[in-house]
Every structure is written in C-alpha cells, then in structure tokens.
Structure 1
Amino acid sequence: MMLLSPAAERNQDDILSVLADILEEQSHKELFGLELGSGTGQHVVHFAQELTYVTWLPSDIQEESRASIRAYIGATKVKRVLEPVHLDASEPWDKWAGLPRSSCDVIVAINLFHVCSFKTAEGVFQGAGEILRKNGFLMTYGPYAMNGIIIPECNEELDRSLRERNPEWGLPDIDVLRQIAFTNGLRMERMIDMPESNKCLVFRKF
C-alpha cells in the first residue's frame, strides 16, 4: 500500500536540487546511493527518476514503510531503485544490510535525526564513515538547533512535542553533529537553509 507524506511532496524538489548540485561533478559516473529511514518511498523514487546515474538502496526499520516503497517502485516502474531493506542505523555498520566498506557514493537521511535516539544519530555517522567512499557525501535534511538555540517558534514547539512523546527525540544540535561527523572521518562542508525552517547539512568523507 502506498503511503503519502504531504511533507515529502512539498520538500522533494528542494532536496533534489541540493542532491543534484553536490553530485553534479560525478554525474558522468554510475553512482550508488543509500537512503536511511526512507519512510513512504516518495523521495527515493523521485530522486531516481531525475538523477538517472544513481542506483538507490532504500531502507527502513518499519515493514509498513518497506511495503509502501515497494508499491511506489511498482507504480512508477522506476528502474534504479533496489528492493528496500531493513536497516537499523543504531546497529554497527557491518549489520547494515551487508553493505561493504567504501561501497556508497552518497547517503541520504531525510527527517530522521529529530525522531531517533542519540545512539541512532551517532550510528548514522559511524556507518557513513565506513561505507562511504573517500569524498562521498552524507546529506541530512530536517529541523535543527544551532548552538543550543532553536528558532523559530514552530521548531521550538516541535522540539517540545517530540520530547513529550519520546524523551530520546528532539531537534539535534548542528555543532554536536559536526563533531560526531568529524570523529568518524566526515567534514561538514555546507549548511543550506531550506523552506519551512529546515536545513540541509552536507558532510564529505575525507
């Protein structure tokens, strides 16, 4: 069954343009991308239709989401999206669906960090540090805190409501993420302001 996320519908073109921009200099090559927490499958199918040089592996811990991804692949007949896999980013990278070291050119995590534990966020960077090729990218998208400050008010409210639902959730601080990334061999190269008070963070494996 195809699930529909209105937010994914709204933000997919903006995120696509950032992706296209960071991958442009490699667009003459065949690239391999992993999406963490693919959710409905709308993003990965949209990216694959536009960036025809990337083969994508979608992943999610929820079976319902994986079923939705399969439904989108079937409905769009998109060629470059593989069968979705179960992947829990809080687990060590060698449990990441059998992906070998240095096998990915790009890893994407959209709206994941504010609805996962700190252990999962750390796991994303540890895994990316292992499975990205040198100069590969990790791109994350979502709402963030900066230097401990959350703006605007709508993001403050979001943070509060998330923490009420699950004390391990909430808007992560960009500075903290940057430090975890660096520890795992990734350097934050770009921070791009996006609509609806979100940001894209682009990390490169060095």
Structure 2
Amino acid sequence: MTEPKPWLIDEAGSEARRHAPATLRNRDAIVDVLRDYLPASGTVLEIASGSGEHIVHFAQAFPHLVWQPSDCEPAALASIAAWAAQAGASNVQPPLPIDAAQPDWPIGSADAILCINMMHISPWDATLGLFKGCAQALTEEAPIILYGPYLEQGVETAASNLAFDESLKARNPAWGLRHLDAVDRVASDHGFARTSRHAMPANNLALVYRKRSA
C-alpha cells in the first residue's frame, strides 16, 4: 500500500483556494462521527482548519451550528475564506488566526472543538497548547473531537502508518505520529478524559474527550 503523504499549505499552488486530497476521502466518515457528538446548537471551533474544505462541508451538513475556522498560516486563512465564500456558507465565520501552541486564543467560548490531522504535522507544543486552550474555551459538556493517525499500545500499527511516520520525521524531526497514551496524559493534565474511540478509514482514529466530572 502506498504510504500517505503529508499535505502542506505552502506546497498547494498559488490559487487562494487550496485543495487537500484526503478531504474528499474522509469528510463523510467524519460527518458520521460528528452526528453523535455535536451539540444541538452553538459554536464549533475548528483548530488548524487547513484548506477550509472540511469546515465548509461540515457547515453544510450541520446548518444549525455556527462554525468557527482557524489556522496559524496566512495561506490557510485565505483558502478557508475563499472556500466559504464560494459555498455561500453563511454559518461559517471569518477564520481566526490561532496557533494552537500559543496562549490566549481570540475566542471567548465554544460548544465543541474539532481538530483534524494536526498533531502529526506540528511540534508537540501544539498538542500541549491544544488541550490548554480547550480547557479555557470549552463549556462544561462540550467535546473535543480529534481525527488522525495515532500509535497505540497493544495495537499493531499499519505498515503505511509506520512509513508515514518515518517520512514525517524526515521532513521535520519535531513531527510524527503521536502515541495515544501520551495524548491521553496531556488531556488528563488539563482536566479531560477520553470517552470514545472510533476506528476510521485509512488507519485513522476519531477520538472524543470531555471534561472530567469534579
């Protein structure tokens, strides 16, 4: 099986709208998971929205929710705005410049936070910052929903994911697939516990975390 390739915003051409090929393959599978966990109303903040294709698709699938995209890359912010404008997605807010690794996100609160395929193509500080920011922004019952490839203790890793991990580290030693138990520990440090794990296509996982009861 051909190993997956990391998609990078600065390699995607000069047009404002960028395209991440994996989006078309996984967006409907992610929608199926989101149906079980998104609130009936409120704001969903997406961290690291990338091209913006996911959030526009989700906004159409869940028109009762307000969708707040974000990213730390200027080219991504432009792409998100362009995709939202083309789709006429009135429930997608203008994208916010948020670096998950940095404190003081420019948003008051959110009723769910979604993060897709960020952890393995960012430094570990971004994962630490993600949960810290979620602890500050999320309401009590709000979920964190993550999607991407992970390494799991006691679960054999697909050969394609091992090759992917090697290719990521060759590009940047600070990147790579994260061990799920390490992610769980960071979540716990910030008051969250993993409540759900879903096996997804192409050896990915969808994970749900919620604030622990006091």
Greater CA drift, 144-153 or 72-81: 144-153
SS in 1 for 2:202: coil
- What is the aligned counterpart of 1:51 among 32, 44, 62? 62
Residue in structure 2 matched with residue 32 of structure 1 by the alignment: 43
Q: TM-score normalized by structure 1?
A: 0.92
Note the 1:110-121 alignment, pairs <5 A.
110-121=116-127
SS in 2 for 1:191: strand
Residue in structure 2 matched with residue 12 of structure 1 by the alignment: 27
- Indicate how the Cα distance of structure 1 residues 199 and 127 shifts in structure 2: closer, same or farther if over 3 A, else same: same
Q: TM-score normalized by structure 2?
A: 0.89
Residue in structure 2 matched with residue 21 of structure 1 by the alignment: 36
Question: Is the 1:163–1:170 Cα contact (8 Å) retained in structure 2?
Answer: yes
Residue in structure 1 matched with residue 83 of structure 2 by the alignment: 72
Note the 1:1-206 alignment, pairs <5 A.
1-23=16-38, 26-27=39-40, 30-92=41-103, 94=104, 96-97=105-106, 99-100=107-108, 103-147=109-153, 151-206=157-212
Q: Distance in 2 between matches of 1:201 and 1:155?
A: 17
- Indicate how the Cα distance of structure 1 residues 197 and 162 shifts in structure 2: closer, same or farther if over 3 A, else same: same
SS in 1 for 2:71: coil
Residue in structure 1 matched with residue 3 of structure 2 by the alignment: none
Question: Is the 1:144–1:150 Cα contact (8 Å) retained in structure 2?
Answer: no
Deviation for aligned residue 1:150? 6.1
Runs of 4+ in 1 over 4 A off after TM superposition: none
1:129-167 deviations in whole A, cap 9, x for unaligned? 111000111111000001287610000000011011111
- Indicate the percent of aligned positions where both proteins have the same amino acid: 36
Question: Is the 1:61–1:88 Cα contact (8 Å) retained in structure 2?
Answer: yes
Q: Distance in 2 between matches of 1:52 and 1:4?
A: 23
Q: Distance in 1 between matches of 2:23 and 2:187?
A: 26
List gaps (5 residues or longer) in structure 1.
none
For 1:193, the aligned partner's letter is A
1:9-32 deviations in whole A, cap 9, x for unaligned? 110111111111112xx42xx211
SS in 2 for 1:134: coil
Deviation for aligned residue 1:81? 0.5
1:18-55 deviations in whole A, cap 9, x for unaligned? 111112xx42xx21111111011011011111111210
SS in 2 for 1:91: coil
List gaps (5 residues or longer) in structure 2.
1-15
